[in-house]
Amino acid sequence: MKANIKAISYYLPETILSNDLIHQEFPEWDIEKISSKTGINSRHISAEDEFSSDMAVKAAEKLFEEHNIDKSTIDYLLFCTQSPDYFLPTTACIIQDKLGLDTSIGALDFNLGCSGFVYGLSLAKGLIAGEMAKNVLLITSETYSKFIHPNDKSNKTIFGDAAAATLISIEKGFCSIGNFVFGTDGKGAENLIVKQGGMRFPVSDENEDIKDEFGNVRNDKNLFMNGTEIFNFTGEFVPKLTEAILEKSNLTKEDIDLFIFHQANKYMLNHLRKKIKIPEDKFFIAMEHCGNTVSSTIPIALYEAQKQQKLVNATNFILAGFGVGYSWGACNLIIE
């Protein structure tokens, strides 16, 4: 039984953090430099009382309205987040109630970052192939801004908050979901981490702020990213990931009409594109208005690609997510 992506919508919080505002706060951080290096002009920041479930609900409600979807047809909810409302209960249960979805549906959270959307598609396809669901609502929602130290100009510049809602269905959509390849290497866990907050290291009030060589300030309850190691990881594994999904799908690079990678930052994406030898016109970037939104970057880019008619006359395209974990995954999508 085929699984199809029927519709996508996304939500961005109202508060906008522009490059100009970052420059005002950190005068040494030039506006043009931020834009040219990251590919980001602005990012959206969740309100103090706005959390992952709130954004998820808004994205889902937008999906239902934008695409005229009857929410009573949803029979499974998958929620991808690394910033849940609570340790327990499962945030997906809260979202089910807020959306007024049927109590007969399945609902679960899964904790993944930049590869989360691809993994979510695989779970949805499995539910449909196993005849456990007919219409799966996949929501990605992240509030990384709440993890970032106010004086961490590096991470503050890159990450934005967002939520995306995707309907995967047995009914024909704008594309069908093909093959998948995955990868995991937990040795890289400490290179992108919020160390405190779980059971191993509860949040402590005795944190000392540490300033790195670039002037970024953070402590163990904040988001830490070793940019150099993350860059090296992507340079080693993403080309292999791309090769693996092409081989599994019995396709060549020339067969692919569009590549949509996790929107990490413009510099990294262009480095990967050149290394993999993907033509610029087949490589889609859409992050200038929202930044790196973690698990929502790919569905946002996919929505924008469709809106900009990049998928017109297209047949095959590749999605690839990679990052925190380390975790990576790719799939091919087919327009029939």
DSSP annotation string for 187-221: GGGGGEEE-SSSSSS---S----EE-TTS-EE-TT
Catalytic residue from among 80, 114, 175, 290: 114
3 state DSSP class of 36: helix
* Cβ atoms within 10 Å of 336's Cβ, excluding its own: 9
Residue 283 in tokens: 């490589």
265 counts as catalytic:
no
Is residue 289 annotated as a catalytic residue, yes or no? no
Q: Which H or E run includes 168? A: strand 162-169
- Catalytic annotation present for 114: yes
Q: Which of 19, 292, 316, 332 is catalytic?
A: 292
Residue type, 168: I
**Distance between CA atoms of 205 and 325, rounded to whole angstroms?**
26
What is the rounded distance in angstroms from the CA atom of residue 241 to the CA atom of residue 182? 8
Active-site choice (19, 262, 316, 331): 262
Q: How many CB atoms lie within 10 A of CB 168?
A: 26
Catalytic residues: 114, 262, 292
